[in-house]
Structure 1
């Protein structure tokens, strides 16, 4: 059922709209499209080049702190929704309610996985934003609990609105992409890890499992699709060493969406043993494409994946190796998890995310 707020357009944080896709950028674009499909009018503020009031070449931080309050003062929107974990204006704009989305608290939970500068920016700006926010949208119950452990004063304003995964479809490949994939000569049954190579994602555990499998005479082929990130140099060096030792490990770096999702769709098994996730979208994307996923027991992954994905402790390399081997040798078990995974992923739609976000807007504006 289409619903809409009865006031003027919602001011919507678009500071990552024109940037290379990150989790927040994907959330921004998918949520905007789903809200507009519900009839909500949005003013998209602070994109680099597009939308309303583009910021130009300036930084997102400078835009939010210096220019955004003046834009809100002039346009007087009923509500401003910030989407980047902590990035509300530092001052209250009269007549405008504030909603903040918190996707995760990684800089506070795993401080060594980000730079010291970003860690302090996150902590201080989030503290201020929580003082001003009329509602805090958390994308999982795990994120909500992590937030309340550190900021219990936000309990009455923090609500859970899961994100969607139905932006993922079996890709249509152009000739260049087809040629690229053909040139890779990937084996029929390969294991895929997709995501950044930072410490939090626990790629080392995947490499540990590959070493164990080869030592046991059960080698597997591993494909890695993801960009370098803060602290990824050591993992990249280890990958190079293992390749030199004869392991079939193929680091492909960042890939555009069609190739990325086709690699995911073709994989026999998707592995994602992250040490912490505020939601954990990649395994849900794989599940939607019919690829069985193996995840860790950490963060929100059990909450999101339920019993549709085998789970191992984030320090259990032997358990991960055994789970990989079990699925690789059993097409029947892979098919069973593929069916369960698709059913699980079907529960997470952007329409549902938009409806629940809109309910937050309406509740704030009624007060």
Structure 2
């Protein structure tokens, strides 16, 4: 590490989480080239970066009192401390400047659905992250508006930097991947968790409205974590069991990155019926893999997907079913979506996202 480089400390404990982990892993190579970096996290997880960054062991659980107790002593003297999520230090740390990335404020938007404990934590931590940070990064203009309205942040403090998406797929042999995850021959693909706001239940309800012929031809493949969410959607499984369609829904569980492109490429369509998204990376990943995209017409999704997707009202199951049927029955529509998607993804590169992050970091450090 060059001595003349400015110092940057990053809380990297979420390196292998799905959304935030991808965000961190994609940006780190660019950031390491520009700054003298210290990473906080599990040394075993971070060992791939040990030659390029200093590593300080930090294994306190995310969202815990323990992490707050340790931050003050763990964070070294540094020019800038970057929190890639809103669980920032509540108290002062040895950093000249602080920046936080707030991907969305779902917990404030769906405040009524939270437990008392969740409400207290979300309100406290997001409010503290907004006040204690010298700058806030977010991933869409939609999220900027939400942070301004619900977290009372000053608009001038917020910088919108879109996520990137890799521009070339790494597609393997479909038969091999299909056997590994027990994929059907034809399927519509959902990527995400089963939290209620993701509205997978809405997709299943719409699927039930499709013709028997389509149901016999196409199944739903769900890629993502099923268990372990405090706000998991039990009613989803009740709907599946009640209508005897368990054999029509394939839950793959965790899928490694090498196989994910193949699963996207093998799908007849990708669908995201979410009620709340700060950005929404899976639709872009589907576009990379030439898969037609259908998404909710709410929040950030129109901003991200532009004219390269078919939109529907996620709370209108008849509308969801109608749009699915349109794409499956019209090859020219499907082909057109693929062509538009190929152009759309060019607007979202990790190199450009990294350039904007680095530019903001340097501006903060030098101010």
TM-score normalised to structure 1 length: 0.87
Instruction: Output aligned runs, 1:12-91, within 5 Å.
Output: 12-17=10-15, 19=16, 21-36=17-32, 38-47=33-42, 49-51=44-46, 52-56=55-59, 58-60=60-62, 61-62=64-65, 64-72=67-75, 75-84=76-85, 86-91=86-91
Provide the C-alpha distance between the structure 2 equivalents of 1:262 and 1:176, rounded to a whole number of angstroms.
10
Provide the C-alpha distance between the structure 2 equivalents of 1:320 and 1:235, rounded to a whole number of angstroms.
17
Provide the C-alpha distance between the structure 1 equivalents of 2:293 and 2:95, rounded to a whole number of angstroms.
47
Asked if 1 retains the 8 angstrom alpha-carbon contact of 2:287 and 2:338, the reply is yes
- Aligned partner of 1:277 in structure 2 is 277
Asked if 2 retains the 8 angstrom alpha-carbon contact of 1:64 and 1:87, the reply is no
Provide the C-alpha distance between the structure 1 equivalents of 2:268 and 2:211, rounded to a whole number of angstroms.
18
Give the C-alpha shift of residue 94 in structure 1.
5.2
- Aligned partner of 2:199 in structure 1 is 202
SS for the counterpart of 1:252 is strand
5+ residue gaps in structure 2? 47-54
> Judging changes above 3 Å, is the alpha-carbon distance between structure 1 residues 174 and 69 closer, same or farther for their aligned structure 2 residues?
farther
Asked if 2 retains the 8 angstrom alpha-carbon contact of 1:139 and 1:160, the reply is yes
- Aligned partner of 1:170 in structure 2 is 170
- Aligned partner of 2:341 in structure 1 is 341
- Aligned partner of 1:151 in structure 2 is 151
Q: Deviations over 1:114-170 (max 9, x none)?
A: 554233212101212221110000111111100001233432211101111117722
Provide the C-alpha distance between the structure 2 equivalents of 1:269 and 1:241, rounded to a whole number of angstroms.
26
- Aligned partner of 1:224 in structure 2 is 222
TM-score normalised to structure 2 length: 0.87
Give the C-alpha shift of residue 338 in structure 1.
0.6
Is residue 2:190 matched to residue 1:193? Answer: yes
Provide the C-alpha distance between the structure 1 equivalents of 2:249 and 2:289, rounded to a whole number of angstroms.
23
Asked if 2 retains the 8 angstrom alpha-carbon contact of 1:81 and 1:98, the reply is yes
Provide the C-alpha distance between the structure 2 equivalents of 1:227 and 1:13, rounded to a whole number of angstroms.
23
> Judging changes above 3 Å, is the alpha-carbon distance between structure 1 residues 165 and 50 closer, same or farther for their aligned structure 2 residues?
same
Provide the C-alpha distance between the structure 1 equivalents of 2:112 and 2:255, rounded to a whole number of angstroms.
27
Provide the C-alpha distance between the structure 2 equivalents of 1:272 and 1:240, rounded to a whole number of angstroms.
22
Asked if 1 retains the 8 angstrom alpha-carbon contact of 2:58 and 2:74, the reply is no
